[in-house]
Amino acid sequence: MAAKRVTMKDVARASGVSASTVSFVLNDAPGQTIPDATRERVRRAAAELGYVPHGLARALREGSSRIVVLNVARLPRDGVALAGFIGGLSDELAEHGHTLLVRYRDAPDDADPVLAAISPRAVLDLDRVYFDDEPELADGGWVDGLAAHTAVQLRHLVGAGHRSIAFALRGDERLSRLGALRFDYARDAAAEAGLPALVPVAVGHPAAAHDRDALAALLAEHPEITAVAGVDDEAAMRVLAAARALGLAVPDRLAVIGFDETPFAELAEPPLTTVRIDTAAFGRRAARELLGLPAATDDRGSASLAATVIRRESA
Amino acid sequence: MAAKRVTMKDVARASGVSASTVSFVLNDAPGQTIPDATRERVRRAAAELGYVPHGLARALREGSSRIVVLNVARLPRDGVALAGFIGGLSDELAEHGHTLLVRYRDAPDDADPVLAAISPRAVLDLDRVYFDDEPELADGGWVDGLAAHTAVQLRHLVGAGHRSIAFALRGDERLSRLGALRFDYARDAAAEAGLPALVPVAVGHPAAAHDRDALAALLAEHPEITAVAGVDDEAAMRVLAAARALGLAVPDRLAVIGFDETPFAELAEPPLTTVRIDTAAFGRRAARELLGLPAATDDRGSASLAATVIRRESA
DNA sequence: CTCGATCACTAAATCGAATTAGTAGGAGAG
DNA sequence: CTCTCCTACTAATTCGATTTAGTGATCGAG
């Protein structure tokens, strides 16, 4: 920011027209009658001077900038799901000349004066979607959203013959809201399949033997349970470790399925069956919605929004 | 952005002074002779109207904004290390009235005109630090940076009596640069300990039996190798899985140590020994440097920048 | 010849903030 | 009385872009 900035005035001077004309040429503004020779002269001057528009001034005048902000706030930050979503969102926005910036501040309130500084074109508030709003209305719900993916997970166990299922949650604060949502959806999917009520089990407590004890208590109280669906792969792998500690055969005595396919799933003992979601596709869809573009019409669209069961040995 | 914005002119009108006076009051500008009663009147009007400064206009006038941008670009995006770093960076910046925004675009070049739109106070280009610059000069190097943490990993194996060590890399494109750096540092640390040359082994290839075959080939060629240091926990856990497939006793025949402590490390069979780095502390330090603040003087500083070995059963 | 449309531009205003360069009035010292 | 300093403000400008509202000249149709 220290060097003298090339402004539109410099380009105007160099090309012998006014700054207004420079703006019309560089923005290809409709309704202007500027001959090609003049346009070419302006473009050359801009290139030679290395002119870069001052986005602040543009945004101030236009009323918004070409930035899209993703507000993650209280949601889990370190998983493959979010990374994929960000990748898809960022790539699609970039294809339309916008830049994605991700905000991780632990504040649910997005009336942030500093954020207002950049007048983003749009703010995608994942925090609000999953904490304040009804996610089923925003993320595809039972069609192709989190609810639908949860149903795929449950249906895999039902399809394998399981009639009594537990749902493994874990204590990560950032996962509590999503975990509660996932449990609700799983409970509904179980009810839909005519199954008895889904039973929750909490894993991931810091105490060394907690997971083993929790699983033992679960099966003592519900010996009819033959399968566990994990809120995510980590929860499922904790159930695997507890099952191993209890000497339970997986999947014969207890089947286990994860969710969100981390690279660690295949390294588990036994390798973990899980549910893969193409979160990048969700990111791309979200980008198009934010920009007011029509949904992508290629085949890639709806197929990749559906969850896929990655079959391994645990369920 | 649809609602009528309250501007400084509105506050001026409501408090009966000029917009200049409003600016002087709200910014506590030095060298102005404004009585307290007038100041109070202006502040009350601003509060009642819900005035929020238009950051774009402020930034345009001042020449920069209160945004700090972290450019991740080609680096790994989904690990606990980055999440921790972002958390620390974001929190420290917030304490000083700045907002962190993270840019994930896969472009190494940060001369992005759209990014210029927000005139960030600073840009922390992790991509450049680890791809273009000499990281040891920027991240603490052999004192408390990645090189020092790598040395801690190696020294743990040396301390356990290992004299011939392999280094497990994995094929993730985003990890290639960091992996190469880590291998270089590990090789130097091994040389420093008077050990024979460190031997690389690549894991994580998609082919199902690849890791097992790679480990078998490594030990066939180097039967003297008794330990493996992983570029990260995932690589280490792949070595564990391959060792299991080959019927190798861990840590008796082969000791394995990871890096960056994922939650999955303790779920491995056997539980993985790894190296923990408090990346949030690095984030906080980076924030202070970006803002030109002196280093934090509390005890928390240097202690938490050091790597810690988390001892479990694999090494 | 007159009038309307078109071409090829332009000056001025706007966006909303901070800063610069004042000005009128009052008080105190010489 | 005059001069200097201080108080309590103000109008205008600046930042750099886009947009609004033109203007002079030319051409073609009636």
Q: For chain A, which domains are there? A: 8-53 (1.10.260.40), 138-280+306-310 (3.40.50.2300)
The DSSP code for A267 is G
Contact B99, B39 (CB under 8 A): no
The gap between B32 CA and D6 C1' (Å) is 11
> What average pLDDT does the segment A125-150 reach?
83
Question: Mean pLDDT across chain B, nearest whole number?
Answer: 86
Question: Mean pLDDT across chain A, nearest whole number?
Answer: 86
Chain B residues inside the 8 Å CB shell of A280: none
How far apart are the CA of B192 and the nearest CA of chain A, in angstroms?
33
The total number of residues shown for chain A amounts to 315
Q: Measured between alpha carbons, how far is B119 from A56 in angstroms, rounded to an integer?
A: 7
Interface probe with A: pick from B5, B26, B56, most Cβ of A within 10 Å: B56
The gap between B185 CA and D11 C1' (Å) is 64
**Of the given ranges (A7-21, A103-117, B52-66), which has the lowest mean pLDDT?**
A103-117
> What average pLDDT does the segment B269-294 reach?
89
Give A60-64's long-range contacts (Cβ < 8 A, gap of 24+): A60/A119, A60/B54, A60/B56, A60/B57, A60/B60, A63/A119, A63/B1, A64/A119, A64/A120, A64/A121, A64/B1
Residue A109 or residue B251, greater confidence: B251
Given a cut of 80, is residue B117 above it in pLDDT? no
> What average pLDDT does the segment A196-225 reach?
89
Given a cut of 50, is residue A182 above it in pLDDT? yes
Q: How confident is the model at residue A200 (pLDDT cuts 50, 70, 90)?
A: very high
Answer yes or no: do A113 and B53 touch at CB < 8 A.
Answer: yes
Q: Provide the pairing of β-strand B308-310 with B274-276.
A: antiparallel
Residue B160 or residue A111, greater confidence: B160
Q: What φ, ψ does residue A65 adopt, rounded to 5°?
A: -110, 180
Q: Measured between alpha carbons, how far is A119 from A134 in angstroms, rounded to an integer?
A: 26
**Of the given ranges (A31-45, A292-306, B286-300), which has the lowest mean pLDDT?**
A292-306
Show Cβ contacts of residue B49 under 8 Å, excluding neighbours closer than 6 positions: B6, B10, B11, B14
**Of the given ranges (A252-256, B95-99, B219-223, B275-279), which has the lowest mean pLDDT?**
B95-99
The total number of residues shown for chain B amounts to 315
pLDDT at residue B184, as a whole number: 92
Chain B residues inside the 8 Å CB shell of A262: 264
> What average pLDDT does the segment B30-44 reach?
89
Q: What is the ipTM of this complex?
A: 0.76
Name the H helices within A126-232.
126-131, 135-138, 141-144, 146-159, 176-192, 210-221
Q: Measured between alpha carbons, how far is A181 from A272 in angstroms, rounded to an integer?
A: 23
Given a cut of 60, is residue A113 above it in pLDDT? no
For residue A60, what is the enclosing H or E element? Answer: helix A55-62
Q: Which residue has the tokens 């000083």?
A: B96
Contact B97, B148 (CB under 8 A): no
Cβ of residue B16 near strand D, that is under 7 Å?
Answer: yes
Q: How confident is the model at residue A252 (pLDDT cuts 50, 70, 90)?
A: very high
Answer yes or no: do B94 and A105 touch at CB < 8 A.
Answer: yes
Return the closest-CA partner of residue B256 out of B244, B278, B274: B274
pLDDT at residue A110, as a whole number: 46
Among chain A residues, CA nearest to B93: A105
Q: How confident is the model at residue A302 (pLDDT cuts 50, 70, 90)?
A: low
Cα dist from B311 to B146, B227, B254, B263, B275, whole Å: 20, 15, 16, 14, 9
Protein residues with Cβ atoms closer than 7 angstroms to any atom of nucleic acid strand C = A 16-21, 24, 32-35, 37-38, 57, 60-61; B 5, 7-9, 19-20, 23-24, 26-27, 29, 51, 53-54, 57-58, 60-62
Q: Which residues in chain B (143-202) have CB-CB distances under 8 A to chain A?
A: none
Q: Measured between alpha carbons, how far is A84 from A64 in angstroms, rounded to an integer?
A: 27
**Of the given ranges (A160-164, A203-207, B89-93, B248-252), which has the lowest mean pLDDT?**
A203-207
Answer yes or no: do A55 and B117 touch at CB < 8 A.
Answer: yes
Task: State which amino acid sits at residue B57.
Answer: A
Q: Which residues in chain B (82-141) have CB-CB distances under 8 A to chain A?
A: 82-83, 86-87, 90, 94, 97-106, 111-119
Q: Which nucleotides of C are covered by protein (CB under 7 A)?
A: 6-12, 14-21
Given a cut of 80, is residue B259 above it in pLDDT? yes
